[in-house]
Amino acid sequence: MEISTLESWIGKKQPNGEKKPVVIAGPCSAETPEQLLSTCQALTDSGIDILRAGIWKPRTRPNSFEGVGEVGLQWFQEVKKEVGLPSATEVANAQHVELALKYGVDVLWIGARSTVNPFTVQEIADALKGVDIPVIVKNPINPDLSLWLGGIERIAGAGITKLAALHRGFSSFEKTKYRNVPMWQIAIELKSLLPNLPIFCDPSHIGGSRDLILPLAQRALDLNYDGLMIETHINPDKAWSDASQQVTPMRLNEILSELRIKRPTTEDPEFNTHLDDLRHKIDMIDREILEILATRMSLVEKIGDYKKENNVTVFQVDRWIKVFQTRPEWGKKMNLDSDFTAQLFKLIHDESIKIQASR
Ligand code: PEP
Ligand code: MN
């Protein structure tokens, strides 16, 4: 897959050794010409790279604001000229692509509700054949890495090389503090499959609330993401969509200045020697963990044989409950996160059942 560098489409060189995130900001939706212009004007001092505004809004339930449509592209065109920054919007079908291109939108993104549907992504890809425009593919709403990858492959298949992924979190049935649970490991996995693909984070849609934007954006930078998309509105409380997660341009400035930008690597020999030393210790501990696990599993084999000889079932619910009560408690006393310990022992227990059942 041919992937152009982010610099090639942002037109910005990174200062030496630094990795300043590329920032896309603007309202969730274009609402009125005044709202769009005043928001984008206020963003000119923030050092952002690209303006965003949704023109067609995919809403979960009908009868809510579904975007202003084509007229918003005219406003966006004028605002862009006035402010002097490139613009980005979401496209969800071939007609959106055609109109966005007609009005000179500079960057397109594919929303989470479109990435889930290969028919939709293919329709967008077909409409993009022969066009040279950057396209950002948001993750699908469900935690399915192949679907995300498939969406990127379909757009690449249309000849688009200015590609990026955007991590906006995943829907879940369980209520959590996030609007969309981040599941960072899925984005990390994507990065390991496509190391040259720039990746953005959308802390607004992951968090669903203003307070979570800074810590989520910081996490993304700590994971070496290339950019951020942050919903910004001149009067967030009055926004027609996603009011609780939008920030004022002033707050955006604060967030951007509070972010700690770190270097992905350093040439400093002292640092690297010390890091190697710590990593060597971790390697040894990982071996010990595996040796202990192997010893545990050989005991599991013995238990499996013993149960079989005595015609006793592999699974006993009382034992399961006890394991799941005690381990997180023991871990907590050792400063280990209870959820982490519970998940770890779920994996160990699953394996143990599998081993016993195969005896
Ligand atoms: C948006 O960016 O406004 C949007 C609708 O995002 P998502 O597709 O991530 O829900
Ligand atoms: Mn939104």
Per-residue pLDDT tens for 187-226? 999 999 999 999 999 999 999 999 999 999 999 999 999 9
**Nearest Cα to Cα of residue 226 among 193, 254, 191:** 191
pLDDT of 267:
87
Tell me the C-alpha distance between 238 and 234, whole Å: 9
102's tokens: 């007609």
Query: Atom 1 in ligand 1: which residue has the minimum CA distance?
Result: 28
Task: Enumerate residues with CB within 5 Å of ligand 2 (an ion).
Answer: 28, 242
Which atom of ligand 1 is found nearest the CA of 57?
5
With a 6 Å cutoff on the Cβ, whether 52 touches ligand 1 is no
25 lines ligand 1 (CB under 6 A): no
- Cα distance between residue 227 and residue 202, in whole Å: 9
Both structure tokens of 349: 């227990």
* Neighbour tally for 166: CB within 10 Å: 26
Is the CB of 168 inside a 6 Å radius of any atom of ligand 1?
yes
Q: Cα(88)–Cα(67) distance, rounded to whole angstroms?
A: 15
The pLDDT value recorded for residue 314 is 84
> In the chain, which stretches have pLDDT less than 50?
none
Burial 168-178 (b: 16+ CB within 10 A, else e): bbbeeeeeeeb
Q: Which residues contact 190 (CB under 8 A, 6 or more apart)?
A: 145, 148, 149, 165, 197, 199
Q: Which ligand is nearest to the CA of 57?
A: 1
The amino acid occupying position 356 is: Q
Ligand 1 centre to CA of 111 (Å) is 5
Residue bearing the CA closest to ligand 1, atom 10: 112
Q: How far apart are CA 345 and CA 327, in angstroms?
A: 7
Cβ atoms of residues 243 and 210 within 8 Å: no
Strands, E assignment, the chain: 22-26, 50-52, 87-90, 107-110, 135-138, 163-167, 199-201, 227-231
**Rounded CA gap, 38 and 111, in Å?**
25
pLDDT tens for residues 231-280?
999 999 999 999 999 999 999 999 999 999 887 788 889 999 999 999 99
Q: Is the CB of 191 under 6 A from ligand 1?
A: no
Candidates 10, 6, 50, 1; CA nearest to 160 is: 1
Cβ neighbours for 49, distance < 8 A, ≥ 6 positions apart: 10, 12, 22, 23, 24, 85, 86, 227
Instruction: Give me the pLDDT at residue 6, please.
Output: 92
Domains and CATH numbers, the chain: 6-258 (3.20.20.70), 269-357 (1.20.59.10)
**Distance between Cα 246 and ligand 2 center (Å):** 8
pTM summary value: 0.83
Q: In a 10 Å sphere around its CB, with 0-12 CB exposed, 13-18 middle and 19+ buried, how is residue 324 labelled?
A: middle
Ligand at minimal distance from the CA of 242 is 2
289: phi then psi, degrees, rounded to nearest 5: -60, -45
CA of 242 to the centre of ligand 2 (A): 5
* Cα–Cα distance, 141 to 143 (Å, whole number): 7
Which residues, at least 6 apart from 3, have a Cβ–Cβ distance to it below 8 Å? Answer: 156, 161, 163, 194, 196, 197, 198
